[in-house]
Structure 1
């Protein structure tokens, strides 16, 4: 891999082209935005390409943003793509997105290309990512190409998919950035063929938000459903639990920006006086530092915020469409004594009430010394890569921290 160190004679910062496609929640977008912000803060020239619904605040300031025509998951199983009106996308729609992506890449002239999730996920957008990788492969001086992954992957049931991912990594990617602490989870725990790409896997640490400011408001129990598109059942069970548990407890239910309006209004109307219902709180990480308990799904970003705050937690992992990643994360935290878990299929007002009461009665456990500074560490790693650092060495170093 040729060095792409910033050319001092040119007097320019290294350029990063960061692609992210979120389909249901906002977790992928939030993590990619945190990393992009850390890169921008470190002096990189960042272009972020997004392919899902636009969310206020993402990406952050100082980042050039290219928004492709949005697609979302056609169903909870991610089996197809739809536009914002719910219509399945056709070949003309895909061609328009593909050309926009390639045009944005050519305009950015990046030193580094970061592709979130692919090739381990986001197969639905192969129609534009494979042409992008094909174009990069033909370049005389090509950018460094990196895959950006969360620490725990979705298990693949279809035969041959893992082999395809390995082949693409070996052929088209210089390295795989795993945004996790190897002391908590390693890629091999959820990807059976990890040994075949071990020389390209670099752990960055967990991408948590920076330590938050002190909370401006205090709630005993924070309930959050991520983006909210699949959080209605959790919200309903939490409202019912609030009616059963002592009324002195103060609750905040963060329903999520993607919860359908009718469901949001029903949640507001059903909430007792000690429960505040909102769609979004930008200060969620701060609120966690003052809360007695967090009740949530077990998405990557929410868990990082909880670990940073050292807050007790009850998790209801998302499992629709055969999803396994959140359950794996929640069970790891339960084994560490950091959380209680209620299976999604077992979620009722009674089961959630019991789990909340148990958590409130339990002592707070110290959080193990996990690396939560993955965004800043990613910026450091990219500087080393563009300076010509050998990937295998970085991979070995990252497993020993």
Structure 2
């Protein structure tokens, strides 16, 4: 028996970057325990992603055309076809055969990524058919997107029970539990382990005085964030507490060049517009206040920095995950919540002023979820073998 298992991580991010960043963090944690880790990724990797020690294999990229997630498109912005799906399925199965993993870890699936069932179900069936099947582990963030049709959630629970040995939930169970956003959590309760939050950022010191006493405005990958950054660019003039400081707007790499150029051209004095930076956590530690969306990774950066914060959750179409997270944190007195759909420069300025009236907070406990996840996987594998 090998001392440590070979691990295959499957991750498919369709719109934002949080999924792949969380999967890579868990992968890196596994490598510190001596595990060979192959991470197979179904979309373009963000340029700031750390993949040290991981064997990264990229499948032909696919993404959601918009926040409805109803249509998937390839690298040429064309709708994917049955032939495209068959080719990617075969490539994924070949990765499995080449890797011969002792552990398969899927990010989000089976509690999301139903669109990828064309390749994930064959992977599950192939793995389960082996004489000594690998340990199959699911990895999910703190909050899921509730489905209007309960039958879809029931089907997710059935897939979990059919294929999975363990489900890692990356949250603080005292703050958020899977049942808060998933109707059938009780059916899979015996599979669940709460790991705490997956946060492995190593804040680098930004150059010069970047971030010092600033309002730092961020938007994750940048999809659907033009309105937030546009309001922030105009909000400085309306703030009573932050009109004398520099506002730094960070546009995610998914934001189009046209939108980015529009923001840069229109930025008034005292407002800097630039692309997202790998030293973002370091900027936050120097900042006077943070304004951001409420994605998983960005929220952890904000909490870890202990900086006064305004969360403007992405809430287009049927997206509710970020709203649930922002509301929970606001109820715990950690942030100021501002609604995206009614946001104006004036309302954002008021929210920034309110945040500046809040005391600094220590970051919450349970931020070592990546290492807890790695150790949990290893313990489960040892029991299996």
TM-score, with length taken from structure 1: 0.91
Task: Tell me, yes or no, if the aligned pair for 1:18 and 1:116 is still in contact at 8 Å.
Answer: yes
How far does residue 89 in structure 1 lie from its aligned partner after superposition? Answer: 0.4
Aligned counterpart in structure 1 of residue 332 of structure 2, from 329, 336, 340: 336
| 1:238 equivalent among 222, 232, 242 | 232
**Aligned-pair distance for 1:75?**
2.2
Q: Alpha-carbon deviation of 1:214?
A: 4.5
Structure 2 gap ranges (5+):
none
Shift of the 310–277 alpha-carbon distance from structure 1 to 2, 3 Å rule, reads same
Query: Once the 2 structures are TM-superposed, how far is the Cα of residue 218 of structure 1 from its aligned partner?
Result: 2.6
Which position in structure 1 is the counterpart of 2:141?
A: 150
Q: CA deviation at 1:59?
A: 5.0
Matching residue of 2:223: 229
Q: Distance in 2 between matches of 1:82 and 1:140?
A: 37
- The 3-state SS of whatever aligns with 1:160 is helix
How far 1:386 moved relative to its partner? 1.6
Corresponding residue of 1:3: none
- Which residue pairs with 1:94 in the alignment? 85
Q: Distance in 2 between the 1:327 and 1:339 partners?
A: 12
Alpha carbon RMSD of aligned pairs, Å? 1.6
Q: What TM-score do the two structures reach when normalised by structure 2?
A: 0.95
Instruction: Give the distance between the partners of 2:359 and 2:168, measured in 1 at CA.
Output: 35
CA contact (8 A) 2:135 2:384 kept: no
Contact kept, 8 Å, 1:183 with 1:370, in 2: the verdict is: no
State the 1:43 CA deviation: 1.5
Closer, same or farther: CA 218–59 of 1 in aligned 2, 3 Å: closer
Mean Cα displacement is larger for which, 83-92 or 198-207?
A: 83-92
Number of residues of Structure 1 aligned to a counterpart in Structure 2: 380
The question of whether the paired residues in 2 share the 8 Å contact of 1:209 and 1:305 is answered with: no
CA-CA distance at 1:308 after TM superposition: 1.1
Mapping of 1:318-397 within 5 angstroms?
Answer: 318-367=314-363, 369-388=364-383
- Secondary structure of the structure 2 residue equivalent to 1:61: coil
Correspondences of 1:196-215 after superposition (within 5 Å): 196-210=187-201, 212-215=203-206
Contact 1:222–1:252 (CA under 8 A) maintained in structure 2: yes
Structure 1 residues 270-318: Cα deviation after superposition (integer angstroms, max 9, x where no partner): 1123222111110111111111211011000011111111111101111
CA distance in 1, matches of 2:112, 2:316: 16
Q: Structure 2 matches for 1:108-119, cutoff 5 A?
A: 108-119=99-110
Check 1:289–1:389 CA distance in 2 against 1; reply closer, same or farther (3 A cut). Answer: farther
Matched, 1:164 2:155: yes
**How far apart in 1 are the matches of 2:285 and 2:365?**
17
Is contact 1:243-1:272 (8 Å) kept?
no
Trace 1:60-71 onto structure 2 (pairs within 5 A): 60-71=51-62
Cα distance in 2 for partners of 1:202, 1:266 equals 46
Contact in 2 for aligned 1:49/1:68 (Cα 8 Å): yes
Task: Show the counterpart of 1:267.
Answer: 263
- SS at 1:229 equivalent: coil
Structure 1 residue runs without a partner (length 5+): 1-5, 391-401
Partners of 2:332 and 2:316 lie apart in 1 by: 25
Counterpart among 40, 47, 51 of residue 56 in structure 1: 47
User: Is the 8 Å Cα contact of residues 238 and 345 (structure 2) preserved in structure 1?
Assistant: no
Q: Does 1:297 pair with 2:293?
A: yes
Indicate conservation of the 8 Å contact 1:223/1:253, yes or no.
Answer: yes
What residue number does 1:399 align with? none
2:180 aligned with 1:189, yes or no? yes
Per-residue CA deviations over 1:244-283 (Å, capped at 9, x if unaligned) read 3354211211110000000001111111232221111101
Is 2:315 aligned against 1:315? no
Mapped partners of 1:248, 1:342: distance in 2: 22
Partner residue, 2:12: 21
